[in-house]
Amino acid sequence: MDLLSGAKIESFFSYFLLVCFAVFVVQILYWLVLWSKKMSKGALIFLTIFPVISIFPIPHQEIKKIENIKQEHIKKKDENGEPLDDE
């Protein structure tokens, strides 16, 4: 039978492993969320580890925008002589 050829079994096996791995990762992340909700230390650990596993880094343009905003804030603070409210 052509249905049980080696190539199809190998591709089925690779897709099966991929789906199993994805389900495993989702279960681990779900468990981490539940654990962090139960314990304040858990939430702190989760929030400190989460940026490390982030896939998307902050773009360089956004970092420059933040630096410019900080510099403008400092200039306004120096001109007025009083600290500005952050609200």
Alpha-carbon Rg for the chain in angstroms: 25
Instruction: Compute CA 61 distance to the chain's CA centroid, rounded to the nearest angstrom.
Output: 19
44 φ, ψ (degrees, to nearest 5): -65, -45
Sequence spans of domains, the chain: 1-56, 57-87
Predicted pLDDT at 62:
79
Predicted pLDDT at 1:
47
pTM of the model: 0.41
**pLDDT digits 0-9 by tens, 9-53:** 778 888 999 999 999 999 998 987 887 777 777 677 777 777 776
Greater pLDDT, 17 or 82: 17
Indicate whether 2 pLDDT > 60: no
Cβ–Cβ < 8 Å for 42, 35:
yes
Q: Strand, coil or helix: what is 56?
A: coil
